[in-house]
Structure 1
Amino acid sequence: MTDNDKISGACKKAESSFYSLLSINIGTFHINPLTSASLVSKICIPKLLFGAELWNNLTKSNCMQLERFIRMAAKTIQRFPIRTRTDICLAMLGWKRIESEINLKKLMFLERLCNMPTTVLTKQIFNKRLALFSCRTDKCIQKGFVPDIIRILSKYKLSDFIINIPHYHKNNVRLWKT
């Protein structure tokens, strides 16, 4: 399955869940928009972002396709016109942009990988791919979880965590508190 197929499938599942919620009248004047937003964020958004930790090299059109669903849901829940500014609609519900949500899911997955014992095969594969990535000179054309996580860590100025992973595990210190 290509990334475009995964994104399209995720959007269709999220939209069908959203329209199912609308059919039970979450968009009426009787229900608080924050309650409706809570239902959408607990039912539809997880369907939209299922497996997002492993999506890599998303294009702007992929992110825009996911973002359209979030925008439509936020405006529909609050009964705002289509032309209402998206940043205002999302902020009123306390929702983040979709790219931030995906980055958060990837960072949480990285935290789980980093806290695994080194005897677990998944951790060994991650360590080998990380070492291979750091040794390669053609980093700009590589695809996968490791280049994406390195990009995210540098974007949020967290790159020193990836360098110091062995140091954190020697002292049995977790990278992030959960």
Structure 2
Amino acid sequence: MAINVITTALPEVKIIEPKVFNDTRGSFFESFNAREFAVQVATGFEFVQDNHSRSTKNVLRGLHYQIQHPQGKLVRVVAGAVFDVVVDLRRHSSHFGQWVGVHLSADNRRQLWVPPGFAHSFLTLSAEAEFLYKTTDYCYPEYERTLLWHDPELGIAWPLDGEPVLSAKDIAGVRLAAAEVFA
């Protein structure tokens, strides 16, 4: 897996750019290699679940996390484009409450590593987007939590084109000041 790894403003959150091999037939790249991931991105993680979602323009999903059984996520877009956001929820971190946003698309083939202890969200920028992600733990609905996507304390600069389309769960998200966070 030939990859370029870029550290973001949240040092544990990494952008992964795969090496793409193009020729007259099309293209090829390794989308995941456990050995390379452990060497270049993060060690000590095993992925146990793959998820696939499809969203239409202006759908905003998140900011989600699990307070127990926290999940690390390796996310990517295979059709369309999204603005992906990660918020550090580790109270002991010098980056607590800070966020980073990354454009992920089928065209740029970027992936984003979201470690456990961070909230995750994305906004669909294209007419439709297909979003894939691997997780390091299973989904436990009883431990799911949601931060309010437009909490002024977070100050996320969403590239909105109109009003976002939200689930009831995301509308009911809580502000960081009232959220359960990681020690």
TM-score bin, normalised by smaller chain:
under 0.3
User: Between Structure 1 and Structure 2, whose CA radius of gyration is higher?
Assistant: 1
More helix as a share of residues? 1
TM-score (norm 1): 0.22
More strand as a share of residues? 2
TM-score (norm 2): 0.22
